[in-house]
């Protein structure tokens, strides 16, 4: 048998062997996705947000760590002595050389069996068509009456009522109180839904909800009779059970699934009172604008008719005719004045001519008319008179007698 030489160089270092073992652990598919059952001990909550604990049973112990990102999603309150089922992968922690479980999910012991029952019921009811998306009914946009099925003492009811009051205070809310946890809860939930549908058939939508919890806490909403009642409801149902990461069979059977009870109330009131008021104000503004447009058109039509009536008015026609008459009168008067001027000019000429021929006018210029005294014959030349004739001399202001010598 060959004895190892004291002078042979070692093949491994601690670090390289640890790295090799870590690679073996992490390359094993079974160890990369594993559920382990055990009891928590040595639980530590450092300020970093990570969780460190030991998972043990009667024969062995295993160091475990849960990083802050996974611990933040943990809904359980862990404590020493608590029996859990932890999911994660196995690897080697180089510093200590110990293998440990890197945990990403934790559930109480027993949830595994419940989850298998959940999957069995889901497959059966899905095959019957209870989750058919085509059978989902639309949620009314403006519900007048909202039903709520939940615990009368839970925070979920307060959250839903506050949300409805804030978003749509005009809606009437009818509560059907029921336990939402425990062995008697499924039958009570079915009775509450049945009572609500019988006493308030004019409901617009129903909210079915409760706060978060473990799978055991929420199991009433996975009950087959509850799921069938939800699916058969003639009124649309919104399921708001647990938190966003929680899913129950009523979520699949309901017409709409909400992440939380508050979200369910929001989905039940898609139009808020402010949006409704805004819409009313908008339509009022549009109505006023349309009325003003129509009135403006009517006013324009009235003004147009008034103008057209003004043009066709007998008074307007009389006024136009009066203006025509006034124009003709002015033209006639002007023509008459013109003609009178012409006549006056002519008359003045005739008068001047007549005056020039008027004996009186001649006398006024210093001339005299001499006539025979006996026969009044005018003596126009020296041959018309002889010595000794008695004559009468007429001047502008009288006459007198004379004798030719």
Q: Looking at residue 283, what is its pLDDT?
A: 76
Structural domain boundaries of the chain?
14-109, 116-132+142-271, 275-312, 360-403
- Please tell me the distance from the alpha carbon of residue 230 to that of residue 253, in angstroms, as a whole number: 6
pLDDT at 264 over 60: yes
pLDDT digits (tens, 9 = 90+) for 374-391: 888 887 787 788 888 788
| Contact (CB, 8 A) for 243 and 75 | yes
What is the predicted pLDDT for the residue at 189? 96
Determine contact, residues 209/241, Cβ cutoff 8 Å.
Answer: yes
φ, ψ (nearest 5 deg) of residue 303: -60, -40
What mean pLDDT value characterizes the chain?
86
67: pLDDT confidence band, cut at 50, 70 and 90? very high
Query: 232 burial class (0-12, 13-18, 19+ CB within 10 angstroms)?
Result: exposed
Per-residue pLDDT reduced to its tens digit, 24-47: 888 888 888 999 999 999 999 999
Nearest Cα to Cα of residue 25 among 62, 74, 54, 51: 62
- Assign domain 14-109 one CATH number from 3.40.50.1360, 3.40.50.720, 2.70.70.10, 2.40.50.140: 2.40.50.140
Predicted confidence at residue 4, as pLDDT, reads 56
Distance from the Cα of residue 265 to its chain's centroid: 22
Class of 116-132+142-271 per CATH? alpha beta
Averaged pLDDT for residues 146-175: 94
* Lowest model confidence (mean pLDDT) among 147-156, 247-256, 381-390: 381-390
């Amino acid at each position: 048998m060959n004895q190892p030489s004291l002078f042979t160089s070692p093949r491994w270092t601690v670090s390289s062997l640890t790295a090799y073992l870590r690679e073996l652990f992490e390359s094993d598919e079974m160890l990369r996705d594993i559920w382990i059952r055990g009891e928590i001990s040595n639980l530590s909550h450092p300020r970093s947000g990570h969780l460190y604990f030991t998972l043990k049973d009667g024969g062995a112990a295993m160091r475990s760590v849960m990083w802050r990102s996974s611990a933040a999603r943990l809904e359980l309150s862990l404590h020493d002595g608590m029996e859990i089922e932890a999911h994660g992968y196995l690897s080697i922690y180089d510093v200590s050389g110990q293998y440990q479980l890197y945990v990403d999910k934790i559930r109480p012991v027993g949830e595994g069996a419940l989850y298998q029952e959940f999957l069995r019921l889901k497959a059966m009811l899905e095959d019957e068509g209870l989750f058919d998306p085509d059978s989902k009914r639309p949620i009314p946009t403006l519900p007048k009456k909202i039903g709520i099925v939940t615990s009368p003492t839970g925070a979920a009811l307060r959250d839903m009522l506050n949300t409805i009051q804030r978003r749509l205070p005009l809606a009437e809310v009818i509560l059907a109180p029921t336990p939402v946890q425990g062995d008697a809860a499924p039958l009570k939930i079915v009775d509450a839904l049945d009572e609500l549908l019988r006493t308030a058939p004019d409901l617009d939508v129903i909210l079915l909800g409760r706060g978060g919890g473990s799978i055991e806490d929420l199991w009433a909403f996975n009950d087959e009779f509850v799921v069938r009642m939800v699916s058969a409801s003639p009124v649309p149902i919104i399921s708001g059970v647990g938190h966003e990461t929680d899913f129950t069979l009523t979520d699949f059977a309901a017409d709409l699934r909400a992440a939380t009870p508050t979200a369910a109330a929001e989905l039940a009131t898609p139009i808020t009172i402010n949006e409704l008021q805004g819409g009313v104000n908008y339509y009022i503004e549009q109505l006023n604008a349309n009325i003003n447009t129509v009135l403006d058109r009517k006013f324009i039509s009235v003004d147009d008719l008034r103008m057209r009536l003004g043009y066709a008015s007998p008074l307007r026609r009389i006024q136009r005719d009066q203006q025509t008459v006034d124009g003709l009168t002015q033209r006639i008067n002007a023509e008459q004045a013109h003609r009178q001027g012409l006549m006056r000019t002519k008359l003045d000429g005739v008068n001047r001519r007549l005056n020039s021929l008027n004996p009186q006018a001649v006398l006024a210029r210093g001339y005299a008319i001499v006539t025979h005294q006996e026969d009044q014959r005018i003596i126009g030349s020296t041959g018309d008179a002889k010595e000794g004739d008695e004559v009468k001399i007429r001047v502008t202001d009288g006459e007198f007698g004379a004798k030719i010598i």
